[in-house]
Amino acid sequence: MLRCIQCGHELKADPWVLSCPKCGGLLSSEIKEKPLAISWSLFRTRRFGVWRYKELLPRIKEPVTLGEGGTPLVKIGKKIWVKFEGANPTGSFKDRGMTVAVSLAKESGVKNVICASTGNTAASMAAYASRAGMRSFVVLPKGKVARGKLAQTALHGAIVIEIEGPFDLALDVVREIAGPDTGLYPLNSLNPWRIEGQKTLAYEVVDEIGVPDWIILPIGNAGNISAIWKGFLEMRKFGLIRRMPKLAGVQAEGAAPIARAFKEGRKEPLFTDNPKTIATAIRIGRPVNWAKAFKALRESQGVAEIVSDQEIIDAQRKLGRMGLGVEPASASSYAGYLKLLKGDVMGEEDRIVMIATGHALKDPDSSPPVESIRALNKEEAINKIKELIS
């Protein structure tokens, strides 16, 4: 069953109905009754990953899967972990949502899928659509998509439309053209089935370490924060957990429509038509899921934080030196954490999980330049290395 988060209207689940027929609001998939016999011990009889929690996902006969989810939770401090979503098949958390939404689309006979993207959704959709035998169309903000993501999108055979303007304009195109008339199925995070898959990130954290005190994550179009909060709400509803974490949502200084408004105590975001940040994945001025994000931040008694591009790059380098290669948007979790630690929001005793949403290989241009030592032959190379270690 689907429920409108705005007016509460309830309707039967239908993959093609992606906004409320009454008021146009965002839809959320609701599981009315506790699925029979679910428990952590049942889940643990299965492989770690999205489909481990299949009773809490839409029923699919044959999932379109690449083995997504089940990503490492890496401990980087006494009570601090990084959920390394870069370990997903296409290198970002988007794969969790794509396996569910593409599976449903396939069962409904969809042949063509479309999305707007800052890059990761495009790469993920292209891969899953190819696996399902569908054609994919991606609308990208020209010149603002990281190199690795473009390479993946091409490799998986998507048809690329580049538009002059930000992601938000690309999404306007998708919202206008997608639908049963054109047969183009939209796979942006306003699609509630993407959110269903992405909520499994919350289940996995709890499966491994129980409920943390804080979850810190970047906000772009605000799908992921909505998904993670939904995951926790469901776990509580079905008796799988008793307490709830707080959420900390991080945005970049030049693209902070939600974080800025939330910090100022506003009820609505401060949209911008000209978002700017080095973290191109979250270069978004008008996040479609803002209402779900505000709800998640409010209900969890969470906080929003704003970080500069310099803070993002510094955080990315620091994580790199811990062995964690993440793209700039993902490093904003850590940048936000370092900033929040200075205030009185988080304490030393808090158990904190940061979500590293995408892999460093996605955006090779954001890594530091290689400072190499030149050698013309074997002897010179050996001598230079000897000098360096002496």
Distance of CA 342 to CAs 197, 212, 338, 339, 355, Å? 34, 20, 7, 6, 20
How remote is the C-alpha of 106 from its chain's centroid?
A: 22
DSSP 157: T
Identify any residues that bridge with 136 across adjacent strands, giving them in sequence order.
113
Q: Assess 221 for contact with ligand F0G (CB under 6 A).
A: yes
- Rounded to the nearest whole angstrom, what is the least distance from the CB of residue 83 to ligand F0G in the complex? 12
User: Looking at beta carbons only, is 94 or 246 nearer to ligand F0G?
Assistant: 94
Specify the stretch interacting with ligand F0G by CB under 6 A; choose among 12-20, 25-33, 52-60, 222-230.
222-230
Specify the stretch interacting with ligand F0G by CB under 6 A; choose among 13-21, 126-134, 325-333, 376-384.
325-333
Q: What CA–CA distance (Å, rounded) separates 53 from 46?
A: 9
Answer whether 106's CB lies under 8 Å from 64's CB.
yes
Q: Assess 231 for contact with ligand F0G (CB under 6 A).
A: no
- Rounded to the nearest whole angstrom, what is the least distance from the CB of residue 183 to ligand F0G in the complex? 22
Q: Assess 316 for contact with ligand F0G (CB under 6 A).
A: no
- Rounded to the nearest whole angstrom, what is the least distance from the CB of residue 377 to ligand F0G in the complex? 42
Q: Assess 306 for contact with ligand F0G (CB under 6 A).
A: no
Strands (E), the chain: 2-4, 10-11, 27-29, 73-77, 80-84, 112-116, 135-141, 159-163, 184-186, 214-218, 246-252, 303-307, 352-356
- Rounded to the nearest whole angstrom, what is the least distance from the CB of residue 304 to ligand F0G in the complex? 12
The gap between the terminal CA atoms of the chain, to the nearest Å, is 68
**Which parts of 105-164 interact with ligand F0G (CB under 6 A)?**
117-121
**Which parts of 338-377 interact with ligand F0G (CB under 6 A)?**
357-358
Query: Residue count at the site for ligand F0G (CB under 6 A)?
Result: 22
Q: Assess 300 for contact with ligand F0G (CB under 6 A).
A: no
Quick note: the x/- pattern for ligand F0G over 43-82, rule CB under 6 A, is ----------------------------------------
Identify any residues that bridge with 353 across adjacent strands, giving them in sequence order.
81, 215
Answer whether 167's CB lies under 8 Å from 118's CB.
yes
Identify any residues that bridge with 287 across adjacent strands, giving them in sequence order.
none
Which residues contact ligand F0G by CB under 6 A? 92, 94, 117-121, 189, 218-224, 281-282, 327, 329-330, 357-358
